[in-house]
Amino acid sequence: MKFNNARNILLSVFALGLQFKTTEAVAYHTDKLEEGVILHAFSWSFNTIKEKLPEIKESGYTAVQTSPIQECLVGDNGNKYFGNWIYEYQPISQEIGNYIVGTEDEFKSLCAEAKKFGIKIIVDAVLNHMTTDINNCKGEWKNPKWYHEPAGINNWNDRYDVTQHDLVGLRDINTQNPEYHQKVLTMLKRIISDGASGFRYDTAKHIELPDDTNYGSQFWPTVLENGSEFQYGELLQDGTSRDTEYAKIMKITASNYGEKLIDAVNNNDFSVNRILEYDAHVDPTKLITWLAWALLAARKLTTPLFFSRPYGGGGENSQFPNLSQLGDEGDPLYKDDSVAAVNLFRNAMVGEDEYLRNPNGDTNVLMIERGNKGIAIINLKYEEYDINSETNLAEGEYENHTINTNKFKVADGKITGSLSPRSVTVLYNQESEKASIAEKDVSSSAKSINTGMMMIVLTTIFLLYIINYICCSCCFHCESYQRIDHWFINCFLFKNLRIDHFSDLDRNFFYFLDSLFNSLVRTSNNPSVNNRINNIVKGYKSSNNSISNIDILGSKKIVNRYRIYIFLIGGRDYGFSDRINNSPYKKEWECLFKCQTESGTYSKSPFLLRSAALLNDIMPVVCKRQHILFNKFKTNLSRNVNADNTVGQPSRANADPISDPSGIG
């Protein structure tokens, strides 16, 4: 039941690089769950997962793991603040469905739809305990006969204490009771009948094994015979976890290896000797791993688990910043171009051997070779790296499958090319006989998937996310920074609005925003998206809550700024849904635009407006030079963000007059 520290995920991802633009169509998919990649849709509702299945498929995932689906305690009056995820792990019965994930019928519908996409559903099962007070349980589960005598764990190095007593006050079930074994087995079979393919067993090490002296039971041998395809237990490894014994009967988590990789990323050290072993002393095919994604997903033996944390949490910030709620989609990092590229690489390399190599002994760079068909290269350096190394990769020319479409050449057993800073490079040749999934295999609600490059239409949440993490990536080694999206919100609420923080931002940051916007909406060749924006503008004009400012904006010919601004703060559905209409941001949005129309200048207007106006002015030029500006952005914005959240402005001598027709710094 451990909530993985969001910073861990953050650190691992910087090894990948954080570039969002396009994703490659799904070229490879593996039908074997253990050979693919699992998306842990932490606290997403069944309906949210169902809605996101096309994107999950496109990003190369084989399976989705849900949060617990048993009936659970409704805590905090049902408030869906994300910090209340703890109630999902407090069952009150063995009925299926709860107020966070949805009903059993919705679960069945999810499983049926996922099957059309070739995606399998894994369920998190809580079998060790119920909620803290059994009087809050339903029906027969109020009966003390199902439980051990109440007593907390006092000695975490004592296996009896760990397996037979209450975990953090949660009432420990008497898992030696054969009657309970049968009840669990019945529930698990019901979930499989509903359409699930497997289970993750929460707090597995807290349930005894058959050979635990004087208190062993047949719990695991009984309940694992449920007919599922894939099962694994959560084992946070320590002196009492008995990893080898659990791994004989099911797959287990490799938590120690995750900690090792985080330490490796922190220390910029991916030496082969440091990260080769999984640190669990069991068959690697029995391990489920979840961190330093490029390294884990590219390797051969384990089954990687990508933890989708709540939107807005991580780093130095709260794990639960209240920017989303229980049931919502998590942070969009799971569908990042680099993450998806590595997922698809893994699927394409099924059956290939692996070889890990530090080119020329450089421990800041790691090559993961899969037979002679493909290679994933992780560059931990903060600068470009020219690689010239021995390789097993077949001779030929290769283009990186991530957003950094660098070219590489393999000749005479050596690979040459340039690695972008803090990035992952994925190289392999697509084979025509391994086609993408057919349209007939997906539901009518799915997106059309082709074999070329596919543009992701990014939502506002996505764009705010990009801004946040691009800024954070250039100050990754700093101890002091504030999340950019929190910074925006402070401005929206007019709390300590300090315009001076915005006036000196790097112009290349604006260029990058513009490049992103052009990826988002290309007016010339994407009329469907353009029409959607026009409809948003029209809908906003007719809103009862609107003021006449939109007409003023139109008459001043700055409606395009409004369109861009919608993408910055408008909401995940591109419009003012009920949630947005009722939010406190809307009136501030109107006030900020009024400020923009009255000021008549860019330099004194708040950051978002200034950036939107600038984007509007330079869009035609930047559209033609996206890749140049993107590379320029990566090179020039490599300075620290100051403690007061300002970013140093580059010298005017570095300005590109061709790319800056507005003349605005």
If residue 572 lies in a helix (H) or strand (E), which one and from where to where?
none
Domains 6-18+28-348 and 354-428 share a fold: no
Confidence category of residue 254, pLDDT binned at 50, 70, 90 = low
Task: Flag whether pLDDT at 499 surpasses 90.
Answer: no
Model confidence pLDDT, tens digit, residues 531-587? 444 443 444 444 433 433 333 333 333 333 334 444 343 332 333 333 334 444 344
What torsion do the CA atoms of 296, 298, 299, 301 make, to the nearest 10 degrees? Answer: 90
From 21-30, 462-471, 502-511, 534-543, the region with the lowest mean pLDDT: 462-471
DSSP helix/strand/coil, 305:
strand
Task: Flag whether pLDDT at 302 surpasses 70.
Answer: no
**Fold that domain 6-18+28-348 belongs to in CATH:** TIM Barrel (3.20.20)
What pLDDT, on the 0 to 100 scale, is given for residue 166? Answer: 96
What torsion do the CA atoms of 434, 54, 24, 515 make, to the nearest 10 degrees? Answer: 170
**Which residues, other chains included, contact 531 with Cβ-Cβ below 8 Å and sequence gap of 6+?**
none
Burial of 477 (0-12, 13-18, 19+ CB in 10 A): exposed
Model confidence pLDDT, tens digit, residues 30-72? 567 778 888 999 999 999 999 999 999 988 999 999 999 999 9
**Fold that domain 354-428 belongs to in CATH:** Immunoglobulin-like (2.60.40)
Percent of all residues in the chain with a pLDDT value above 70, rounded to a whole number: 50
Model confidence pLDDT, tens digit, residues 425-458? 889 986 533 333 322 232 222 222 222 111 111 2
Q: Which amino acid is at 596?
A: Q
Burial of 83 (0-12, 13-18, 19+ CB in 10 A): middle
Task: Identify the residue with better confidence: 254 or 619.
Answer: 254
- 654/636 Cα distance (integer angstroms): 9
Confidence category of residue 298, pLDDT binned at 50, 70, 90 = low
- 523/623 Cα distance (integer angstroms): 10
- 81/489 Cα distance (integer angstroms): 18
What pLDDT, on the 0 to 100 scale, is given for residue 251? Answer: 83
From 234, 243, 337, 617, active-site residue? 234
What pLDDT, on the 0 to 100 scale, is given for residue 522? Answer: 38
Q: Are 304 and 289 in contact (CB under 8 A)?
A: yes
What pLDDT, on the 0 to 100 scale, is given for residue 428? Answer: 92
Residue of 67, 85, 88, 104 lying closest to 199 (CA atoms): 67
From 202, 208, 336, 506, active-site residue? 202
Q: For residue 554, what are the CA distances in angstroms to 326, 540, 590, 592?
A: 38, 12, 14, 16
- 441/435 Cα distance (integer angstroms): 13
From 571-575, 605-609, 621-625, the region with the lowest mean pLDDT: 571-575
Structure tokens given for 636: 């020039």
Model confidence pLDDT, tens digit, residues 379-420? 878 788 999 999 999 999 999 887 667 899 999 999 999 998
Confidence category of residue 240, pLDDT binned at 50, 70, 90 = confident
In terms of DSSP H, where are the helices of 477-584? 484-492, 500-503, 507-520, 527-541, 549-555, 559-569, 578-581
What pLDDT, on the 0 to 100 scale, is given for residue 176? Answer: 97
Task: Flag whether pLDDT at 494 surpasses 50.
Answer: no
**Strand 230-233 to strand 407-411: parallel, antiparallel, or no bridges (unpaired)?**
unpaired
Q: For residue 305, what are the CA distances in angstroms to 62, 178, 226, 302?
A: 10, 32, 22, 9
- 18/512 Cα distance (integer angstroms): 13
DSSP states along 323-353 = SSBTBS---GGGG-HHHHHHHHHHHHTTT--
If residue 65 lies in a helix (H) or strand (E), which one and from where to where?
strand 63-66
What pLDDT, on the 0 to 100 scale, is given for residue 544? Answer: 38
Confidence category of residue 505, pLDDT binned at 50, 70, 90 = very low
Q: SS3 letters for 591-635?
A: HHHHHHHHHCCCCCCCHHHHHHHHHHHHHHHHHHCHHHHHHHHHH
* Backbone torsions φ then ψ of 477, nearest 5 degrees: -85, 0
Q: What is the mean pLDDT of residues 600-620?
A: 41
Does the active-site annotation cover 234? yes
Helix axis angle for 104-116 and 178-194, nearest 10°, is: 50
DSSP helix/strand/coil, 366:
strand
What pLDDT, on the 0 to 100 scale, is given for residue 454? Answer: 16
Model confidence pLDDT, tens digit, residues 110-157? 999 999 999 999 999 999 999 999 999 999 999 999 999 999 999 989
Task: Identify the residue with better confidence: 290 or 513.
Answer: 513
Per domain, the residue ranges of the chain are 6-18+28-348, 354-428, 457-659
From 53-62, 223-232, 647-656, the region with the lowest mean pLDDT: 647-656
DSSP helix/strand/coil, 435:
coil
Q: Are 72 and 92 in contact (CB under 8 A)?
A: yes
Entry pTM = 0.59
Q: For residue 456, what are the CA distances in angstroms to 23, 449, 461, 509?
A: 7, 12, 13, 21
Model confidence pLDDT, tens digit, residues 317-372? 456 666 778 999 987 778 877 788 888 888 888 889 888 899 988 988 889 899 99
Model confidence pLDDT, tens digit, residues 153-206? 999 899 999 999 999 999 999 999 999 999 999 999 999 999 999 999 999 999
Does the active-site annotation cover 202? yes
Structure tokens given for 107: 């679960």
**Which residues, other chains included, contact 612 with Cβ-Cβ below 8 Å and sequence gap of 6+?**
561, 562, 564, 565, 568
Percent of all residues in the chain with a pLDDT value above 90, rounded to a whole number: 33
Residue of 196, 209, 255, 174 lying closest to 70 (CA atoms): 196
What pLDDT, on the 0 to 100 scale, is given for residue 265? Answer: 52
364 alpha carbon, distance to own chain's centre: 24
318 alpha carbon, distance to own chain's centre: 16
What pLDDT, on the 0 to 100 scale, is given for residue 34? Answer: 75
- 427/24 Cα distance (integer angstroms): 13
In terms of DSSP H, where are the helices of 349-498? 460-473, 484-492
What pLDDT, on the 0 to 100 scale, is given for residue 283? Answer: 45
Residue 501: count other Cβ atoms within 10 Å of its Cβ.
18
* Backbone torsions φ then ψ of 432, nearest 5 degrees: -65, -30
